[in-house]
Structure 1
Amino acid sequence: MADPTWDPAQYLRHAGHRARPFLDLLAQLPDPPTDPPRVADLGCGPGHLTALLATRRPTARVTGYDNSPEMLRRARAEHAGTDRLDFAHADVRTWTPDEPYDLILSNATLQWVPGHADRFADWIAGLVPGGTFAFQVPGNFTAPSHRLMHELAASPRWADRLAGVLRHDDAVLTPEAYLERLTDLGCAADVWETTYIHLLTGEDPVLDWVKGTGLRPVLTALADDPPAARAFEDEYRTALREAYPSGSHGTPFPFRRIFAVAHKKT
């Protein structure tokens, strides 16, 4: 599967809802063991949440890492410019700490990294004693939004064009598996899950949401054929309208998330 092309503006259209899990993750983080602390945000995207992290850790030196040129341009243009906060290109699939970190955090990124749990050992090894590795990933790969996308991509009209483009439902592990992996690495770990019921507004808001994230691989694969991309969107839109009917106050959109906070022993 080729790396998708990202659209920061589309991603940020639902920034308030997307920030909720990040804020809930931050609320569970302990004070860093050293001062000033060193912090890495893996998969920083457009940088707005990395900047928030830097605000919440006012003495920390924070680096946001991402492999999307589009996202990094947005992050640097809007949030860089201080000694404490910067953004750098890195591929989470291969990134290894080159200095000790107090906190390595990843928000809604690891689902794009096949075999990401195999990287945990390297990242935890890069923490100072008492440091923290924390992440949040979607746990909704069996939800209608993903299931319908996969069914459509596998249909006779699209199978040849989109074979192997989308992630499978094993893109993330179960909470129990994450707990076992982190505990096996010698960490004291807390793993939990939360289902948010986002109330989305506007026309076809679930389609608008996934166009910023899960649908990016399809849009990238069909980028050289705009009529085909529009045709796929039209079919998908029809299915989503039935799966997520609009109510009097908007469209409820359940979204399950998996969280983990692992503390390296001192």
Structure 2
Amino acid sequence: MTDFTIQHFQQVADQAKANAGSVADGLKQCFEQKYTVEAGDLASLPTASERDALNEPGLLVGMRVGNTGIVVVIPESFPLPEWYREPNESQKARLGTIGMEWSMALLPEELMAEDFSSHPFDNLNSAIDLVTPDPEAQWIPLQATAEGGTPFTLYLVGPVSKPCLDPKEVAQKATQEAKKEAVLEGMAYSDPSGAMTEEERRTRMARVMKLKVDVSVRLAEKKIELSQLVAMAPGSLILFDKACEELLDMYVNNTPYCRGEVVKVGEHFGLKVNEVGFHMEREARII
């Protein structure tokens, strides 16, 4: 599949003007309100400091073609409905189709989007940088007006390297990096003299990080009577209270570290990590 390029985005500018009615229909199907849309002229993407008007929450609709793509920036003041941050199943379906509708209206005929997304972001200005625009990226203002309403401006931005970026994944990655840094700091060698440089400290830490630890995954556990244990024979069945869909616990040196779900990788099984650094919950004993 051909990646989306700046040349393709210039074609999108023409498509946006020619198919403004289809763009408006996509808004209507998603937000259940009739709009008119007018596409503006193509322009170079301003720097973050020049996009102060987008320092607000909103929605990023992504369309991926190959390894790149485009996004549509929709400010919360559009106005977006209150449900856009936590949509129900029906609303998720509507958000899921708006990218598909727009891809058919905006992309050149020879291109087909492979993936679509609609994610809320706390700050659209920062979100534009997170999706990694091409150095030559441009944007197209789309003036959308609801019946009897005030005109608002949406923005079509491209090409970008991560059009379907999920902000939750960004937050999880940042948390993991912070935990990693905290581990490094917590394991740092003491240096009473203060003579060790930062580079020397990190070199020593790098050696420590090569140490191997025992990792094990625990399916479930329970207490049984000794008589049950003694009576076990081939074919005996032991039932556990843990449901099949529950996450499994992974231990590092017999200490709980994370939780995840079982996946099959070829002829082996693996653990897809869902939670890191969880706290074990245990019932209080009654004495």
User: What is the TM-score normalised by the length of structure 2?
Assistant: 0.22
* Larger relative contact order, structure 1 or 2 (CA cutoff 8 Å, min sep 6): 1
Q: Please identify the structure whose Cα radius of gyration is greater.
A: 2
Higher helix share: 1
User: What is the TM-score normalised by the length of structure 1?
Assistant: 0.23
Higher strand share: 2
